[in-house]
Amino acid sequence: MATRCKFWLPKKKRFCAIPPLSNSDFCGNHSKRSDDVWILCSIDPSHSVLESNLESHLKRCPLLKHQNSLSLQPFYRKGINGGGQEEEEEGVSSESKRMAVHSMTAPQFIKLIEKIKSVHADICKDILESYIDPDACKIWINRAIDWKIPFQEKHVIQQASILGNLEKLGALKSSSIGEQLQCDTSSADSSDSSAVVEFGAGRGYLTQMLADCYGVSKVFLVERKSYKLKADRSLRQKESLILERLRIDIEDLNLNAIVALQGVPYLAIGKHLCGPATDMTLRCCVGEGAAKSYLRGLSIATCCHHLCQWKHYINKDFFLNLGMTKDDFHAITWFTSWAVDADHSSDVADTNTENVKNICGDINMSVAERAALGFMCKDIIDAGRFMWLREYGLESKLVKYVPSNISPENHLLIAKRCGS
């Protein structure tokens, strides 16, 4: 007899932990009739339903209710930050990228590698280390503040450096009368208050540190998923702080339509914005139609470059002007995974995988060299984003904000409006 239910949970990537019914391999929730089967919900594939119950479930699926409610919000505009004329184009899966690379001939592969190395040598030599431990964040780093928030040193170090680099750039300042956010409000319509918008906020701990160590009057947490153990409760306990959590995909967020943010100078921050989420955030804050006159500063830690998509990427002209195609871009995004998995031991062994291994062997490309190439590709992708910010008139920098032993995903885009 099984000791736990044998139903596989696709989102959690494990079996159900509930004990099974007597004389059954499944628990009460997942037991089934012999003529019925479990299938993924077509609205939210993170959960499953019995096929016989699918029709009724689709009418009351929690995600459907959320989507219907979201569509009525003034700040919801589907695809506004997706990438313009190519937003209807299908995304390219990681498997498709992998197969495209594995199908290359040796000359094609070598030519692309040489191009990547040449581009990196020309444009990425000025990415500097900027590990900052600001005085304002000492109360957090030394655990002097206890808001019953989980403390993990590596995350606190990253959060402190994200804010410290923004302070060093001059977009975030502390005064001798407590730590508070100081912003030039000369162009704000009728408000002298300041705000922070955290993109991909998760539980909101980055904003919690900013509020504790610098101070802020309005907080907007943008996150498409629902989380437990959020910082929201402790943030709401702060006197005079206004908090809004927006459960929405960054791709669909019209920042101009958030009533409480209109005419208010704000900072945009984000820790580990995966793949295209970085591009969507930049487009949301700085792109055409964005209220960039009220953007005071921006500090975004990028990550998961292997998930980047050409249709979302913010600076396609950057790649095209370098003589690189859309296919080259997708190959480069796939190479970024070598930075953390240089031998691709997780790949399923097949003929095409062996082709890449053979090519790497033919050109004497070791595992360490493949890892180095992966980091070069990450540099190039973020360099394009950095240059795009400069083209929009922002004083910008691309830095490595923590050592790689804290996080190999250690790129930080920081910017402020000139004159801020």
What's the pLDDT score for residue 144? 65
Higher pLDDT, 43 or 168: 168
What's the pLDDT score for residue 357? 60
What's the pLDDT score for residue 204? 92
Residue 13 to residue 16: CA distance in whole angstroms: 10
What's the pLDDT score for residue 348? 36
Out of 90-94, 120-124, 206-210, least confident range: 90-94
pLDDT band at 263 (very low <50, low <70, confident <90, very high): confident
- The mean pLDDT value of the chain amounts to 83
What's the pLDDT score for residue 47? 77
Higher pLDDT, 269 or 178: 269
What's the pLDDT score for residue 126? 85
Q: Give 370-405 pLDDT, tens digit per residue.
A: 899 999 999 999 999 999 999 999 999 999 999 999
pLDDT band at 2 (very low <50, low <70, confident <90, very high): low
Higher pLDDT, 386 or 187: 386
Higher pLDDT, 418 or 233: 233
pLDDT band at 121 (very low <50, low <70, confident <90, very high): very high
Q: Give 137-177 pLDDT, tens digit per residue.
A: 988 888 766 656 666 888 999 999 999 999 999 998 875 43
**Of 223-227, 283-287, 303-307, highest mean pLDDT:** 303-307
**Which of 202, 131, 139 lies closest to 164 in space, CA to CA?**
131
Which residue's entry shows tokens 């505009």? Answer: 77
What's the pLDDT score for residue 95? 87
The stretch 170-186 carries a mean pLDDT of 53
